[in-house]
Amino acid sequence: MDAYELITRNADEVVTEDEVRTLANDPEGKRAYVGYEPSGVLHIGHMLTATKLIDLQEAGFEVTVLLADVHAYLNDKGSFEEIRETADRMQAQFIAYGLDEDKTEFVLGSEFQLDEEYTLDLHAAELSTTLSRAKRSMAEIQRGDHAKVSQMVYPLMQALDIEYLDVDLAVGGLDQRKVHMLARETLPDLDYEVRPALHTPIIADLSTGVGKMSSSDGVTISMDDTTEEISEKVNDAYCPPTADPEPTDDGEDRENPVLQLFKYHVFPRVSTVVVERPDEYGGDLEYDSYEALEAEMESGELHPMDAKGALADALDDLIEPGRRKLDA
Ligand code: IYR
């Protein structure tokens, strides 16, 4: 796989492809980052972007993980003290999950976001951004009448982080695209360069295949799940024998979250997936690519129940090192 393919594989969106191609021409020592509001334990959303960071490290990038304590504070996630304790625990989990300790720098937002220069740049960004533009960059759920001023400042700070962390590439889930678009407009206003961004897909709700898998409501896979919990969640998952399910009766898009997890979470980390089956049902199946697994599910050779068993085992193996860290 060439560097561009490795850097962009499984990304839902690359902004812009030309800019990332330029990075891919000489990836050694280039810098990428993802930011996370410290909260709870790692869940599948964190792990998907972390998987992309692992791809980038393999391609030669140095990686910064921003533990965005100030952002979490602005988003009403608790006191600084609570947020920072969570940040420490998250850092240990990211390493356990497989980020290369020597090529990963963990930075707390408050280490630079409270400096005078940053603050003055933030005010300059506030001055060059209309309220309606800032509002458009906010998450959908925050945009009502109860939105706080802090939540409008938040995306502007995220844009500035790209400059202050001196990164060549910003990575995030597709839910970060609005902020990254704002950054493309805001940074040049402050005479800073635009940097490309890469967005990972959002996994659908595990039990319905509709909307997004979320830790706040619905079922998610977390690092503190027991083997039994994972197995239960996966066995109850929505999994028709196709990667392209029909929309719901209300016309909502549906995905197959079991296949999405194989594609975006398991195969980037595991070279072969073995589906165990008793001999009377044809014996074990082995797949060395997501495409091969998808094809056999669609043809009927691989039954969704058997695929779920293999998925639960693979998820369990991937979170096991982090789970041990939590217990320690
Ligand atoms: N908005 C992210 C957290 C975050 C990401 C980056 I990239 C930053 O520079 C700062 C914060 C979230 O929703 O978790």
77, 37 in Cβ contact below 8 A? yes
Long-range contacts of residues 244-252, Cβ cutoff 8 Å, at least 24 apart: 245/209, 248/210, 252/210, 252/211
Judgement on whether residues 181 and 247 belong to the same structural domain of the protein: no
Query: For the chain, how many structural domains are there in total?
Result: 2
Judgement on whether residues 99 and 240 belong to the same structural domain of the protein: no
Judgement on whether residues 42 and 185 belong to the same structural domain of the protein: yes
Q: pTM of the full predicted structure?
A: 0.94
Judgement on whether residues 142 and 281 belong to the same structural domain of the protein: no
Q: Give the pocket of ligand 1 (CB within 6 Å).
A: 34-37, 66, 68, 71, 158, 161, 170, 172, 176
Judgement on whether residues 15 and 150 belong to the same structural domain of the protein: yes
Q: What is the percentage of the chain residues whose pLDDT exceeds 90?
A: 89
Model confidence band, residue 100 (pLDDT cutoffs 50, 70, 90) = confident
**Residue of 65, 66, 157, 212 best suited for mutating to test ligand 1, as the one with most atoms within 8 Å of CB:** 66
Is the ipTM reported for this complex over the cut 0.90? yes
Judgement on whether residues 191 and 137 belong to the same structural domain of the protein: yes
Structure tokens at 221: 């896979």
Distances in whole angstroms, Cα of residue 186 to Cα of each of 37, 76, 126, 138: 22, 25, 9, 15
In 10 A of CB 18, how many CB atoms?
A: 8
H helix count then E strand count, the chain: 13, 8
For the domain that residue 188 is a member of, what is the CATH number?
A: 3.40.50.620
Model confidence band, residue 138 (pLDDT cutoffs 50, 70, 90) = confident
**Scanning the structure block, which residue is given the tokens 């691989």?**
302
323, 223 in Cβ contact below 8 A? yes
Assess if residue 126 is contained within a domain.
yes
**Domain range for 17:** 3-200
In 10 A of CB 214, how many CB atoms?
A: 16
State yes or no: pLDDT of 103 exceeds 90.
Answer: no
**Residue of 31, 33, 37 best suited for mutating to test ligand 1, as the one with most atoms within 8 Å of CB:** 37
Ligand 1 midpoint to CA 21 (Å):
24
Assess if residue 215 is contained within a domain.
no
* Ligand 1 nearest-atom number relative to CA 71: 11
What was the pLDDT predicted at 289? 97
Judgement on whether residues 254 and 122 belong to the same structural domain of the protein: no
Structure tokens at 82: 């609570």
For the domain that residue 281 is a member of, what is the CATH number?
A: 1.10.240.10
What does the angle CA 318 – CA 322 – CA 324 come to, to the nearest 5 degrees?
115
Judgement on whether residues 195 and 296 belong to the same structural domain of the protein: no
